[in-house]
A and B are shown apart, each in its own frame.
Chain A
Amino acid sequence: MPYRDHEAIVLDSFNGLWSRGDPDRTPLDHFQDSENIKHIGSNSFGTRDGIGISQSVTVPLSNVKRIYNYPTPTRNTLIVLTYDDVVDKGKIYHVVDSTTVYGPLLQITGMHDFAFVPYAGRAYISPFNTFGAGGLNVEKGLQNEFLYVYAGDGTVARKAAGVAPTGALIIANGAAGLTDAGFHLFGVVYETNSGYLTSIGAITSFTTSAALSVSFSTIPTGSAIVTKRHIVATKVITNYNGDTTGYQFFFIPTGTISNNTSTVLNDISFFDADLLDDASHLIDNYAEIPAGAALTLYHNRLVLFTTFDDISLGLASEVGEPEAIDQIDGLIVVPPDGNPITNGQELRDILYITKRSRTVSYVDNGDEPSTWPLVVVDNALGTSVHGIATVLDSGSSSVDFLIISTYQGITLFNGRYILPELSWKVDDLWSSLDQNEFRKIQIVNAPIQTEIYIILPDRRLLVGNYANGFDPKKIRWEPWSYQMGVNTIAIHNIDEIVLGADLV
């Protein structure tokens, strides 16, 4: 057929990769196959931006397994897991800037991944790993490992929470003073350098006299992390039954020792009416919090999910006390179905908890977490351990919606999953991904670039440009690849995209 019979087709826009259905039906403004293309403005495109090294140090971190944005009170930093396969150890570092690296803060045998949340400048770190279960991969906390806290100052991380005091107090009447005469139980609470209040220990009984104060000696001292100690007491007990932890304890207002050395506190006066600050909730706190596969913050509580022993378990802390998790009242149990909890995220005052193909929600009713009501949100869609996008350098996920990777695709979530998926155009590409490797997917949302960056299991990056609209048919998708392969991503200093590369 002569060419003159052809009518020219003007392509005035290019809208990215089309990987959906019959390739012959690819729209003319899309490519069947493309790689390393970036979209500029609404119609232009070019080669993707290059990458450069992020560390200007003699020995840059190698074999990087996970990067999180770690906002501290003074700057935006990174917390990074590397893996040393010679000694089978995961090592966590604090990368302050291009020339300053602290660490390793934490070294744990067999740690291939970790969950993280920043809180009050501190970093809470939970080591986890992937385990096989019936042919499927399951991410859960490492066995015999714990939640750790890092102060952000280069000192090594330590186990979160802390052990209660032990031993017994020697209690005697002090100088002339004022107390409600009668039988009391007294105890000691440690306060650690992260503000955590331990369970009550060294519980000792003593009958006070009305005209005399109370003096304490042999007050136990704790480990180096203890910065203060508090004397707690019950109100007068009239019929003591011998159950030392069965009574309500309160902080004595003047019963604080602001050091970890003195073993004596003399001449303390208090009335029962002064005992207002309840300490009873500390009694059942974990001294060591088991490691989990996911961490999140909800209503100023730290919530940890998926321990080695219970893949359906969530542990929620007291409000404002991220290390104070009650072993009874702090439990959230998602109905077991053989699938582990994979993630948790707050959105508009609701805590959404996901499994790989299920989503439920809990609402803080002002009572203990174990009483929070469960609502099933979606029985088909869920996500993986890193499958909820974080936004800019906030280290958190919420805007007014979430971007979640499900088995169906990249999906907007505003309390329900919005279909069709954002990745509708590249549905075949998404479907070709190994579902058993979805733990490797990590997402960040960069509103300044109007782009979503998704780490794929095959160590490429899938980039969605939404400059033309957050719409499945307007978003423009492009795979980006690198010589070394990428496996983790974070946003740093507002809009700097940071990539991590490991060894195969």
Chain B
Amino acid sequence: MGSFTIIPDSSNIVSGFFINNTASGKFGPFDLVVLQTNDIGVPPPYPRILQGFDPPAVATIDNLLRMSFGLTTNVISLDGDPRISFAGLPLGFVVDSALISLYTDNNGSDAINHFRIQFDESTESGDKSFVAQSFSHPNSTQNPIPSSFLFFVRGCGIHVNNLTVGQRTSRWISRFAVSGTYHLESFTWTLSTASPVSVGSEIIFTSGTANFANMSISIQYVKAGVPKTVVPVPTSQTETLLKFLLPNNFEDFVGTIYFIGTGNGVQFTGSVVLGSLQFIIVNGSGIYKIIKGQSHDTLYDRNGPISYTPINLILPSDILG
């Protein structure tokens, strides 16, 4: 058991208007504007909030403003040590508890403090007032602890609800931080599949001491700043072997995918990053023909909505450019 702190690595802060401009009540689309990138009234260091409001790094999910951390920048400190990146976390890193804290101010017309903090859609604080606020997690037995992956890519959400029509609130958000406790699972495993992978690739984990029968598996990735989760169906799941095919619902994503094992409480509780692979072809399906004498495979490449550049799968240099 130890403590972690996600430390800001940037002096950027963001503020914006949360405005209800729909006649239907509830909360409407946010009219988000970066007011300034450095709040003079608050001393650094500030949290790194990805790229301000320029899409896609900060995204709204279901009318939420979500702020997330980078996976490759050094933002997390374990037990007071120098910061490391998500990719540098030790094997078996499992978040046990977490607390979001931030500093806000209100310059708008929302006098009733419809301000909430979220870890995810199902884990939300009650209405908060202004200035220093915090929200711990897990806050109830009903809310599972998000995976360490999601801590980074989801960060937290800011949610202002139930503004009256035309009412506007302005938030300056700073001093954003996530802290908590963690432990390291000691079991071992091996990801036997090598990058790159694509839809239909078989992913194989073999166990050293891990018991895969006590885990559920999910695949997580970040597309345009928005965390996504895909749940595969294992074709084989025993104590020592976990196999599944990458399913087809990665949309148009290309990049790193993370395999997250979530314990059922027998072996461990919480989530462990079991490994990551490079996902290169979203959708290689289609009609092909065998070409006599050709020494490589050329597949449809649907990395973008229009481009269908064939890529060579046998020569790695062609893949990696």
Chain A residues with CB under 8 Å of chain B are: 47, 49-55, 58-64, 67, 78, 80, 85, 95, 459, 482-486, 492, 496-504
30 contacts between A and B (CB under 8 A): A51-B289, A51-B299, A52-B288, A52-B289, A52-B291, A52-B297, A53-B299, A53-B300, A53-B310, A54-B289, A60-B308, A62-B302, A64-B286, A64-B287, A80-B287, A482-B297, A483-B200, A483-B201, A483-B299, A483-B313, A484-B284, A485-B200, A496-B290, A498-B288, A498-B289, A500-B287, A501-B200, A501-B285, A503-B199, A504-B246
Chain B residues with CB under 8 Å of chain A are: 198-201, 245-248, 281, 283-300, 302, 306, 308, 310, 313-314
Q: Is the CB of A51 within 8 A of B298?
A: yes
Which of B245, B285, B287, B296: most chain A Cβ within 10 A? B287
Instruction: With CB as the reference atom, state the residue of chain A lying closest to B308.
Output: A60
Q: Is the CB of A53 within 8 A of B283?
A: no
What is the CA–CA distance of A34 and B291 in the complex, to the nearest angstrom? 21
Q: Is the CB of A58 within 8 A of B284?
A: no
Q: Is the CB of A54 within 8 A of B247?
A: no
What is the CA–CA distance of A129 and B310 in the complex, to the nearest angstrom? 32
What is the CA–CA distance of A63 and B199 in the complex, to the nearest angstrom? 11
CB-CB under 8 A from A64, the residues of chain B are 285-287
Q: Is the CB of B288 within 8 A of A501?
A: yes
- Tell me, rounded to whole Å, the shortest Cβ–Cβ distance linking A378 to chain B: 33
Closest 5 A/B residue pairs (Cβ): A503-B248, A484-B284, A50-B294, A54-B287, A485-B200
CB-CB under 8 A from B284, the residues of chain A are 483-484, 501
CB-CB under 8 A from A67, the residues of chain B are 287
Q: Is the CB of A503 within 8 A of B283?
A: yes
Given contacts A50-B297, A484-B281, contact A503 B288 (CB under 8 A): no
Given contacts A484-B199, A503-B200, contact A50 B287 (CB under 8 A): no
CB-CB under 8 A from B201, the residues of chain A are 483
CB-CB under 8 A from B298, the residues of chain A are 50-53
Q: Is the CB of B285 within 8 A of A49?
A: no
- Tell me, rounded to whole Å, the shortest Cβ–Cβ distance linking A462 to chain B: 14
Instruction: With CB as the reference atom, state the residue of chain A lying closest to B235.
Output: A458
Which of A58, A59, A499, A503: most chain B Cβ within 10 A? A503
What is the CA–CA distance of A389 and B302 in the complex, to the nearest angstrom? 32
Q: Is the CB of B199 within 8 A of A504?
A: yes
Q: Is the CB of B287 within 8 A of A60?
A: yes
- Tell me, rounded to whole Å, the shortest Cβ–Cβ distance linking A38 to chain B: 10
CB-CB under 8 A from B200, the residues of chain A are 459, 483-485, 501, 503-504
Q: Is the CB of A78 within 8 A of B287?
A: yes
What is the CA–CA distance of A47 and B292 in the complex, to the nearest angstrom? 11
CB-CB under 8 A from A501, the residues of chain B are 200, 284-286, 288
Instruction: With CB as the reference atom, state the residue of chain A lying closest to B287.
Output: A54
CB-CB under 8 A from A63, the residues of chain B are 248, 283, 285
Contact partner, A50, options B245, B246, B314, Cβ 8 Å: B314
- Tell me, rounded to whole Å, the shortest Cβ–Cβ distance linking B219 to chain A: 13
Q: Is the CB of B310 within 8 A of A62?
A: no
What is the CA–CA distance of A235 and B30 in the complex, to the nearest angstrom? 82
CB-CB under 8 A from B291, the residues of chain A are 49-52
- Tell me, rounded to whole Å, the shortest Cβ–Cβ distance linking B185 to chain A: 30
Q: Is the CB of A85 within 8 A of B300?
A: no
CB-CB under 8 A from A497, the residues of chain B are 289-290
- Tell me, rounded to whole Å, the shortest Cβ–Cβ distance linking B139 to chain A: 36
What is the CA–CA distance of A255 and B313 in the complex, to the nearest angstrom? 66
CB-CB under 8 A from B293, the residues of chain A are 49
- Tell me, rounded to whole Å, the shortest Cβ–Cβ distance linking B13 to chain A: 40
Instruction: With CB as the reference atom, state the residue of chain A lying closest to B312.
Output: A50
CB-CB under 8 A from B297, the residues of chain A are 50-52, 482-483
Q: Is the CB of B285 within 8 A of A499?
A: no
Instruction: With CB as the reference atom, state the residue of chain B lying closest to A501.
Output: B285
CB-CB under 8 A from B281, the residues of chain A are 483-484
CB-CB under 8 A from A484, the residues of chain B are 198-200, 281, 284-285, 299
Instruction: With CB as the reference atom, state the residue of chain B lying closest to A48.
Output: B290
- Tell me, rounded to whole Å, the shortest Cβ–Cβ distance linking B247 to chain A: 6
What is the CA–CA distance of A52 and B284 in the complex, to the nearest angstrom? 12
Instruction: With CB as the reference atom, state the residue of chain B lying closest to A57.
Output: B308
Which of A85, A459, A483: most chain B Cβ within 10 A? A483
CB-CB under 8 A from A496, the residues of chain B are 289-290
Instruction: With CB as the reference atom, state the residue of chain B lying closest to A55.
Output: B287
Given contacts A482-B297, A484-B299, contact A62 B283 (CB under 8 A): yes
CB-CB under 8 A from A51, the residues of chain B are 288-291, 294, 297-299
Which of B281, B294, B300: most chain A Cβ within 10 A? B300
CB-CB under 8 A from B285, the residues of chain A are 62-64, 484, 500-503
Q: Is the CB of A95 within 8 A of B199?
A: no
What is the CA–CA distance of A78 and B246 in the complex, to the nearest angstrom? 29
- Tell me, rounded to whole Å, the shortest Cβ–Cβ distance linking B135 to chain A: 36
Q: Is the CB of B288 within 8 A of A499?
A: yes
Given contacts A47-B295, A50-B294, contact A61 B248 (CB under 8 A): no
What is the CA–CA distance of A482 and B300 in the complex, to the nearest angstrom? 13
